[in-house]
Every structure is written in structure tokens, then in C-alpha cells.
Structure 1
């Protein structure tokens, strides 16, 4: 597959993921205003256990199916992929029911583990209810994920992209309308409103499923034609078929839940650790601030990694299966460089303007601390992105077991040292523990990639240094801009002033970075000819 094809597939999924995550950030603004800090944290308590299970269905399975279908398609055997699809649909329908029942009836146990011995305004009954409301989405998402993975295995990214966007739009519309009606028309409780906010995941999943069914109906004739024209079929027993699928899916599942698992550690330890150091009064608000509000901003640059990992998987698998080592190395190189050239400036730019971004989008309450926490958390987006892509690369070259072990090593560090770091550094200690834990996993992944395919890091290191220099230029310009604007009027004292600084900072800082990256031909070398629009701008 050509460089332009992998970039096109990556950007299609990335654009959909970006739009989805952007909408996910925007809706939090009115949602936060309606339910308050405790409501946001309650939503966090419910959504994390759900997101771990739903990630198993909506990320792990599609990547496994994508790899499976791509492998047999590259061998000219379309029938085997179709067999897997039909069998997998039945298995995933059962998986959906099982995970739904597990989360629904385990809700009270999870709630007790979070806050049973801590004095807080959120009750165990509240967490139990909202977890049960969100659990219904698990009935649909596993079988929906098979559809996405099947299309991606055929290197067709459109169905996944469109269904993701429709799912998010429908979910957000239902969520905001339900919360508004419950709180402002029915005069209901915040807990009830948050419960329906989580139930919106079920409504969005239904919408996504309908979109995928429409695509399936349109493309079924073409898929059947491929099967009738193939010359050879692997006669694989159904038991071995499923065994191969789940050998792929197991590692995908574990790596796909990496980010939620790091957050889950804080769900169970953050409040207790903050209580130990006498900061229990602000602990609930800060937990929601970091891992719901700030995370919504940090994860937007990481969507590039998500889209890229989905697009690169069938491509890497095909090159690896056919023994095309030079092409495989080029694809890995491009995957990593796309991440670095775009995610590094975005993450550090958010860190520079953390106070302005948080104050503009959310609120000015305790802005000094919440803005600073976002500033510390933003660069971790680079590590999250690298974790997603390096894990996808390892899975594409049949090193998925190492991806699992490396992740577990990083997660073990987070579990062992999270409370201690919070004791040492306060709320930001949990951020430091996450950074080190994820960094361990990324470092081990890169080492394994180098050993497995003799991957040369020289070009990657040189371009990373160049990116760092351009980011430094951007940092200096934004700093000067803040000093000049601050001398004209105290913009930090009002939401409007912070918004003005945010707009100017993003515009000027982004222009500076893109200018140097374009003029140095860095963007062209990494992204190909898809930067022509910048040429018109900089002329």
C-alpha cells in the first residue's frame, strides 16, 4: 500500500475521531454548568467501569477482526473472513448480554470500592444507579464492533468513521436534552440527570448500529462477488477459526483499555490518598477536574493516534504477512512520525495555555489549581498517543503478547506508587505516576519493535529534535504574547480575557509551528503532498 493510501485511511479515521472527541469536549461545557462538580465526578465514577468494558467491545474486537480479515484477504481468501464475521456476530451478541449483566449486578460492589469509607457528598446508591443506567449500552456495542472491524479489514474506513460521528451526535443530543428536562422542567435530582446522561450511550449505540447496517446492505453484493471469484479457500474448522480470532483479540482488548485502566486506579485510590493528606474537601472536585474535564481536552490530540492505529493495523499486517520488510519499516516510521509531528505541538500548546483553556471552557473556580493540573496533564497526551500506536505496531507484527506485558509493567507502577506520589505531590502526584507508568510501557514497546524488525531510530530521533526546536519557538512566541497582553490589561481576571488570550495563543502559536514545519519541509516529508493548502497560506 502506498504512503498516500495509509495517510488517507489514517486521516479519515482521525477526522472522525477528532470530530467525535471535539463534540465530547464541547458538550461537557453545558453539562458541567448544569450538574456541577459533584455531578461531573459522579459521571466519571460511572463511565470508567463502563468504558473499560465497552472498549473491550468497540476497540479490541474491531482491531482483532480487522487483522484477521486483512490477513486472509491478502491471501485471496474472502470466504474465511466472511465466515468469521457471521460466527463472530453470534459470539458478540452473547458477549454483550454477559457484560451487561456483569456491570448491572456488579454496580453496587464497584460503588462500595470507590467511596464506602470516605465522607463525601456522593453516596454509594448514587454511583450504583448511574452505573446500572450506562450498562445497557453493552447489549449492543460488541456486535456493532464486529461490523466496524470487518469493514476496516477490507481497508474501508468510511463506515467506522461515519458511525462514530453519528453515535456521538445522537448521544450528546439525547444527553443534553434529558439533563435539561430533568433539572429545569421536572425539577429532578442531579443524580437522576447524570443517570440519564450515562444512558445516552445506549441511544448513541443504536444510532451507530443503524448506520452500519445501511453500509452493509449497500456493499453486500460486492462482498459476495469477491467470494465467488476467489480460487482458494482455507478449510479452517470453526473451533480453530474462533481460536485464532481470540488469540488476536485478547492482546488487543488489554492494550485498548490502557488509558481507562490508568484512570481506574485513580478512581479507587485518589479520594483515599487525598483524605490522608487532609485535602478531602477538594478531592472530589479535583478528581473530576483532572480525569473528566481536563482529560476531554488532553485526549483530542490523542485521537490522531486512535485513528492512525486503526488505519495502520491492516496495512502492517498485510506487509508483515507478505514478508515486505522495507515497506513494513517505512510504514512504522511514518506512523510514529505522524504522531510526533502533530501531537507534540498540540499537547505542549495546551500545556502553555492550560489556565486559559480551562477557564474559558469550564469555570474560573479554583482556576489556579485546576489550570495548573491541566498544564501538567497535557503532555501525557504524547505518551498516550505513542502507547496506542506502538501497541498497534506490535500487534501488526505478531508481537501482541509483548504489548500486553509492557502495558502491565507500566500499570503495575501506577498501582504501586500512585498513593505515594499523591502523598508527596498532592493531586498532581497522580498525574506524575500516570506519566511514568505510561512512559515505561511506551519505552518497552519501542525496544521490542527495534528488536523484532531491526527498526532504525536515527531518522525518528532527528525529526523529533527538529519538532522540539519548532515547539520551543512556539513556546517563546506565546510567552511573549502573554506578557504583552498582560501588560495591556489583566486578562487572567475574567473569562472573556482568558478566551481572548486562548484564541490569540492558539492562532499565533499554531501559525509559528506550522510555518517552521512547512518551510523546513518537515510536514511534506512526513505527510506527503497533503500540505498544499499550507503553501497557499504561507505564500
Structure 2
């Protein structure tokens, strides 16, 4: 129900925060489901299917961004403006026009993927990806409409429909993918058909998500309006206004998918040339993607943080409180740096046991170790980019990501013929170093935040050194005491995560990298915890 009584400022703020929390929790849960499903997919289907899937899915995401063209955010803005004036018919008109526009773009993108699947697969250098591209194309007939409905409800500050549909969409997507996977494996289908079954999960998930949004739409009572007799805006001018607002958002949004898509259009071809065949190239591409789910989990933490960071910095900037902008930026960057640094070196030190535990092999562990460092660089890029958006520099993060994409293309072409997937991993680190470094430098200039070497480099590196020494000692002990195998790898990986966290945290405190004031800002850290740390001289 979307009644709109007048509320005081405090209750409106509370509703906004509650809605943001609901949407944030759903986003984290759906991303977690989407990220972790890659591990059993590789385990069940093998690296050839895994390679095809990881070549096609970034393409689908890019085309999806182009099909929706930033409309969900724009719909929410336009609807919120109409609702604030109690013009509910006008809000409904925004939804109707947006659905019509997005149906056109969705159909166009569907036709491009479905009928151009062979041509696109040829550009990728992976003809076996053609069925998977054709399979996932049907989702483009459904997702744009679902996106418009999500934007409509967000305009009413009702985040529940979006949150429910996100979780249902991902759950059905993964369930369908594994159902088809089991069936196709039982029937001995080839890797191209199995990959097509995996990508078809996106179609089933989109259908389920759309069904949820339609259920919310049709069951709600229509709110009464005080201005229902006012003439509605004509369709033509409304379409022009929607598109004018949506296009800049779209251009900013496609930068990250483009960076991810670079590998789809370069790596399978280069690996096939190096290995002497498409099948081996796809297998190697699957090995390369072993490290990405773990890196994405770390980036997910940064994404969750950035959702709160943008409005916080924008609010302080609007008030003209430069000190608040600076302090909030420094706090976010500091936390991101500490988490990303530990995650990157931890992934590098535990690459082989993690690879064996999750993917049943140690092949590709060197590339996985190198890719681990993109966890730090990508999280820095995400948070620094959010700072820039909060400061009003909306296009800068997209430009830096496009620079990174160009570097990734050049790096792949230069390094992969000699080093294969290890060269691609080095190119990824260079690309994210460029994007993260440019965004960080811009954010520091824009906010006046400081990045002192002692606090951000020397002391944290001491903690990293202690952590890595402990992890290497653990691996050496395990190699002597445990029989080789997946079980032993799981023991080393899980024990290593726990040991690394303890060593890193303790050394970070003893080195004075974290202050008492900063610890007090951490949720659930109480006075007794502070007193205990002081007693044992972990903090001064």
C-alpha cells in the first residue's frame, strides 16, 4: 500500500534509512548468491564450461546496462518528484512510458544477441560460446520491465518489492542453472550446451523477479490523488526528459562491465592461439577465473560501504562542512586500505590451498595469487569513486575505468603470448592500479584527505609481513604433517584465514596503525574491549 501521509523530517529520515538498510541487505545477499554459485559450477561442469560461462556473462551484463540505460534510477527520481506533489497519475504515467521505452531497447538488444550470437562468438574467438549467448539473450525481454518497476517503487521509498525480487531472482537463477546442469551432465551434453543451460538460469531468474514485481504492482490499492484532474505531460516530451537524464548515468555505468568484458574478447582468442586450440584456450580461461569469485567477495564489502558513503559525503558537502567531508573520506579509505591489504596478501599466500579447496586443483594458482592483489586495488577504486560521486565528480570514475580497460587490452596482447593466464593476471593488476590510483589521487585532491605513509604503508606492511610469515609457516607445517589432497587443502585454507586475521589484527594494533578513537567507531566494540586491549598494551 502506498499511502502518503505527511510525516515529520525525523520519521522521513528513519524511513529512508530503513529502506536503504533493506535494499542493502538484499543486494549483499543476492551478490553473495551470485558470486558463490561459480564455485560449484566449476566443480560440476569443469573449466571448459566455466570458461565459456565467464566469457558470456560479462557480455550479457554490458548489454543489459545498455538496454536499461540508467532508467531505474531515473524512474525513481521522476516518480519521487510526482509523489511529493501527490500527482499519482503522473507517477504512473512515468512508469508506463518507461516500460514502453525499455521494452523497445530490450527487444533491440535481444535481437542483437540472438541473431548476432555467431558473429559475437567469432569476435571472442570462442565459437562454442554461440549457444550460451543465444540462451541468455531471452533475459533481455524481461529484465528491462522489471528494472522500471523497481525504480517506480523506489520512487515511493518502498524498497521491499525491489529487495524481495532481487533475492528471488538470484535464487531462481542459481536453482535453474544447477537443475539444467545436472540434467545436461546426465545426458552427456557437450560443454557448449552445458554452458548454454547455465546462462539460461538468468532468463528463469528474470522471469521470477518480474513476476514478483508484477505481483506487488497488481495487489496494491491505487492511492487517491488531489490533482488527478490535472493534464498529464505529453509522451514525447516525457520520453525526451527521461532519456536526457538516463544517458549520462548509462555511460557512467557501462565502464566497469567494459573492463570486465575486455577479457571475454581477448583472452580466449589469445589462449587458443598459444595453446593450439579453442578447447584448451577455454580450459585455461576457466583456470584464470578461479580467483575472481574470491576477489569479488572482497569488492562486495567495499560496494556495501560505498552505498552509505555517497550520500554522507554529498550531505556534508551541501552543508559546506569540508572537515566532515575530509574525515569521512579518510575513515572510509583507511578501513578499505586495511581490509584490502590483508585480503590481497592473504589470497596470494593461500592461493594454492584455496584453489584446491574450492576448485579441486592447484592449476592456475600463480595467476590466482597475482589476481589477489586486484582485491586491494578494486576496493580502493570503488570507494574512491564513491567519494568522487559524493563530491559531484560523476564522470571521473568512469573515465578512469575506461583508461584501465585500455591498459588491460594492451597488457593482454603484450603479456599473454609469453606468459598465458599469468600475463593476463599481471595486466589486471596494472589496469586496476591505474584506475584505483587515479581515483584515489583525485579523491584526495577533492576532499583534502591525507594519506600519510607511516599510517597507510609502513605500519600496515609490518602487519602484512607478520601475517604472511605465519601463513607460510603453516603451509610448510601442513606439507610435512598432512597427506596431500582436498581435505588437507581445506584445513590449511580455513586455518590460514583464522591465523592470518589474528596475526594481522594483533600486529596492526601493536604497530599503532589503529588508534583508540578509531576502534570506538567500530560497531559492537565496547568499553570492556578497549580496556582489555589497553591492559595487554595492544593500544596506547
* Contact 1:169-1:204 within 8 A present in 2 as well: yes
**Pick from 470, 485, 490: which aligns with 2:478?**
485
Q: 2:46 aligns with which of 36, 39, 43?
A: 36
Which structure is larger by alpha-carbon Rg, 1 or 2? 2
CA contact (8 A) 2:181 2:198 kept: yes
**Alignment pair present for 1:507 and 2:498:** yes
Please tell me whether residue 388 in structure 1 is matched to residue 386 in structure 2: no
2:35, 2:296 within 8 Å by CA — same for their partners in 1? no
Tell me the residue number matched to 1:164: 166
Q: Shift of residue 243 of structure 1?
A: 5.5
Cα distance, 1:28–1:145 mapped onto 2, change above 3 Å: same
Deviation of 1:344 (Å): 3.1
SS in 1 for 2:181: helix
Which of 282, 303, 306 is equivalent to 1:306? 303
Please state whether the residue corresponding to 2:364 is helix, strand or coil. Answer: helix
User: Is this contact kept in 2: 1:7–1:527, CA < 8 A?
Assistant: no
- Give the C-alpha shift of residue 525 in structure 1: 2.7
What's the CA shift for 1:107? 1.0
Does residue 266 (structure 1) correspond to residue 263 (structure 2)? The answer is: yes
Q: Which residue of 2 aligns with 1:285?
A: 283
Q: Give the superposition deviation at 1:510.
A: 2.3
Judge conservation of contact 1:151–1:160 (CA < 8 Å) in 2. Answer: yes
User: What pairs up with 1:380-419 in 2 under 5 angstroms?
Assistant: 380-419=374-413
Which residue is 2:536 aligned to? none
- Give the Cα separation in 1 of the matches to 2:274 and 2:105: 42
2:449 alignment counterpart: 456
How has the CA–CA distance of structure 1 residues 271 and 195 changed in structure 2, closer, same or farther, with 3 Å as cutoff?
closer
Per-residue deviation, 1:31: 2.5
C-alpha distance in 2, partners of 1:321/1:84?
29
Shift in alpha-carbon separation, 1:502–1:26, aligned structure 2, 3 A = same
Deviates more, 1:499-508 or 1:157-166: 157-166
Q: Which residue of 2 aligns with 1:180?
A: 182
Q: Compare 454-463 and 417-426 and name the one that shifted more.
A: 454-463
Question: Cα distance 1:476–1:534, how it changes in 2: closer, same or farther (>3 A)?
Answer: farther
Task: Supply the distance in 1 between the matched residues of 2:527 and 2:351 (Cα, whole angstroms).
Answer: 27
User: What's the offset of the Cα at 1:127?
Assistant: 2.0
User: Paired residue for 2:116, among 103, 106, 109?
Assistant: 106
Q: Deviations over 1:349-373 (max 9, x none)?
A: 2222111111111122xx2x41111
* Cα 1:220/1:346, change in 2 over 3 Å: farther
- When residues 428 and 174 of structure 1 are mapped into structure 2, their CA distance, relative to the original with a 3 A threshold, is same
Deviations 1:346-399 (A, max 9, x none): 3332222111111111122xx2x4111111111112222233333333334332
1:98-143: CA deviation from partner (whole Å, max 9, x where unpaired): 222222122111011122xxxxxx6x2x422211110111122223
> Equivalents in 2 of 1:219, 1:528: separation in Å?
41
Cα distance between partner residues in 1 of 2:152 and 2:508: 37
Matched residue, 1:119: none
CA distance in 2, matches of 1:144, 1:84: 14
Q: Distance in 1 between matches of 2:508 and 2:237?
A: 49
Instruction: Work out the CA distance in 2 between the residues paired with 1:167 and 1:523.
Output: 43
Cα RMSD between the aligned structures?
4.2
1-side partners of 2:198 and 2:331: how far apart? 39
Does residue 344 (structure 1) correspond to residue 335 (structure 2)? The answer is no
Residue 218 to residue 198, structure 1, CA distance change in 2 (3 Å): same
Q: Give the alignment's TM-score, normalised by structure 1.
A: 0.80
TM-score (norm 2): 0.79
- The structure with higher relative contact order (CA 8 Å, sep 6+) is 1
Q: Comparing 277-286 with 373-382, which one deviates more in the overlay?
A: 277-286
Distance, in Å, in 2 between the alignment partners of 1:30 and 1:523 is: 42
C-alpha distance in structure 1 between counterparts of 2:33 and 2:440, whole Å: 32
Cα distance change on mapping 1:508 and 1:322 into 2, 3 Å: same
The 1:316–1:94 alpha-carbon spacing in structure 2 relative to 1, beyond 3 Å, is farther
1:118 counterpart residue number: none
Distance 1:527 1:214 in 2: 45
| Counterpart-to-counterpart distance in 1, 2:216 and 2:459 | 43
> Paired residue for 1:441?
435
Correspondence 1:375 to 2:369 = yes
